[in-house]
């Protein structure tokens, strides 16, 4: 099977994730039609990674696609698919609310007429111009493409985490932005005031904060050492953090809506937050060891079922019927 991923404005994490998943099955020949430097900040980095990925070939963004399946981001220009069997349109947060520009909407709906399915990155498409006439599948994040495209990291994340009791109760490593995340971090920091410092791993960075981001290896080390990981909101409507936490069997503390969309259940595979982040953290820290052990088992099962590239690809193909 041949797939072309058309990213005329540059690569996003979703584009790279789809490419990695399909190539990992060994059944797909994947071509990525994208510029090396695009409109998105991550484009150049992802382009370099995919250039070394087995089963993935980079082609000029204006190359006419010739494939069994074309993935194309809607709302921007892309080659008219004349030699493809099926087309999957990708839409982002431009349809997460009523602020979508009329011009983008018109162009997107026009392009969608040729699509067999829509892959939606937004949190829920509560305003959905495709409802009733197109099959819409929600994009499910997997482990960050960085981990699967670097051999040493792929080996590490494919192996189960160390067994036994962990030394850290709660960890967070990440940026303090956007503002919604900063509010959560401040609320949780206040709730952790009475916890021994050795039981918390806390590394934040951003404007006015001198700390540097963790290396990917150090990030995995921190996840392996912790019982719980805080997963506050970020810039994107989804986060790789949930998949990475599940792969290391570190229980995520995450917003209820985002967690349920990922397939997590409160008290079973995650601690879901209903607005009160400090209360959710206290609830997590009061959890008995037996309950924590069962939650780690649930996350191990979730990883096997849907988070490895091959499992994620099989699930995506079933949902898109390709």
pLDDT digits (tens, 9 = 90+) for 266-282: 999 999 999 999 999 99
**Residue 296 domain-assigned?**
yes
Residues in the chain: 322
* More confident of the two residues 301 and 63: 301
**Do residues 130 and 231 both lie within one domain?**
no
**Do residues 219 and 281 both lie within one domain?**
yes
Which band of pLDDT confidence, cut at 50, 70 and 90, is reported for residue 74?
confident
**Do residues 104 and 201 both lie within one domain?**
no
Which band of pLDDT confidence, cut at 50, 70 and 90, is reported for residue 126?
very low
User: pLDDT tens, 89-111?
Assistant: 988 765 545 555 566 677 788 88
**Residue 134 domain-assigned?**
yes
The gap between the terminal CA atoms of the chain, to the nearest Å, is 10
- Domain CATH code at residue 242: 3.40.50.2000
**Residue 148 domain-assigned?**
no
**Do residues 22 and 110 both lie within one domain?**
yes
**Do residues 162 and 302 both lie within one domain?**
yes
pLDDT at residue 220 greater than cutoff 90: yes
* More confident of the two residues 289 and 129: 289
C-alpha dihedral sign at 186, 261, 173, 211: negative
Mean pLDDT, residues 111-139: 77
pLDDT at residue 79 greater than cutoff 90: no
Which band of pLDDT confidence, cut at 50, 70 and 90, is reported for residue 80?
low
Pairing of strands 66-73, 56-59: unpaired
pTM: 0.84
- Domain CATH code at residue 9: 3.40.50
**Do residues 23 and 138 both lie within one domain?**
yes
For position 268, what pLDDT does the model report?
A: 97
How many angstroms separate the CA atoms of 263 and 144, rounded? 18
**Do residues 315 and 299 both lie within one domain?**
no
Mean pLDDT, residues 288-312: 91
pLDDT at residue 34 greater than cutoff 60: yes
Calculated CA dihedral for residues 123, 237, 4, 243, nearest 10 degrees: -100
Count how many domains the chain has: 2
For position 302, what pLDDT does the model report?
A: 92
**Residue 255 domain-assigned?**
yes
Mean pLDDT across the chain, nearest whole number? 86
| Share of residues in the chain with pLDDT > 70 (%) | 91
For position 125, what pLDDT does the model report?
A: 42
- Cβ neighbours, 10 Å, residue 77: 14
Mean pLDDT, residues 20-49: 87
**Do residues 127 and 251 both lie within one domain?**
no
**Residue 149 domain-assigned?**
no
Instruction: List the Cα angle 236/218/269 in 5-degree steps.
Output: 55
Domain limits at 245? 158-306
Tell which residue, 205, 168, 169, 199, has the closest CA to residue 185.
205
**Do residues 90 and 128 both lie within one domain?**
yes
How many angstroms separate the CA atoms of 206 and 39, rounded? 22
**Residue 22 domain-assigned?**
yes
**Do residues 315 and 293 both lie within one domain?**
no
**Do residues 278 and 174 both lie within one domain?**
yes
**Residue 290 domain-assigned?**
yes
**Residue 151 domain-assigned?**
no
**Do residues 211 and 291 both lie within one domain?**
yes
């Amino acid at each position: 099977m041949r797939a072309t991923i058309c990213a005329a404005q540059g690569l996003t994490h979703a584009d790279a994730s789809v490419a990695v998943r399909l190539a990992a099955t060994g059944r797909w020949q994947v071509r990525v039609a994208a510029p090396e430097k695009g409109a998105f900040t991550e484009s150049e980095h992802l382009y370099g990674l995919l250039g070394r990925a087995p089963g993935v070939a980079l082609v000029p963004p204006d190359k006419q696609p010739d494939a069994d399946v074309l993935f194309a981001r809607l709302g921007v220009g892309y080659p008219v698919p004349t030699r493809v069997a099926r087309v999957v349109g990708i839409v982002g947060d431009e349809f997460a609310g009523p602020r979508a520009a009329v011009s983008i909407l018109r162009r997107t709906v026009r392009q969608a007429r040729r699509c067999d399915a829509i892959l939606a990155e937004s949190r829920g498409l509560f305003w959905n111009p495709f409802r009733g006439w197109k099959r819409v599948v929600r994009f499910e994040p997997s482990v960050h493409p960085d981990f699967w495209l670097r051999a040493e990291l792929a080996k590490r994340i494919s192996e189960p985490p160390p067994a036994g009791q962990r030394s850290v109760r709660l960890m967070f490593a990440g940026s303090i932005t956007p503002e919604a995340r900063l509010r959560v971090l401040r609320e949780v920091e206040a709730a952790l005031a009475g916890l021994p410092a050795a039981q918390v791993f806390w590394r934040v960075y951003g404007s006015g904060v001198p700390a540097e981001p963790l290396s990917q290896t150090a990030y995995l080390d921190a996840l392996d050492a912790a019982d719980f990981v805080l997963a506050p909101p970020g810039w994107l409507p989804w986060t790789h953090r949930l998949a990475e936490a599940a792969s290391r069997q570190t229980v995520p503390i995450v917003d209820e809506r985002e967690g349920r969309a990922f397939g997590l259940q409160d008290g079973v595979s995650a601690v879901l937050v209903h607005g009160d982040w400090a209360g959710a953290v206290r609830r997590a820290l009061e959890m008995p060891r037996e309950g924590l052990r069962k939650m780690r088992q649930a996350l191990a099962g979730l990883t096997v079922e849907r988070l490895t590239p091959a499992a994620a690809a099989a699930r995506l193909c079933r949902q898109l019927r390709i």
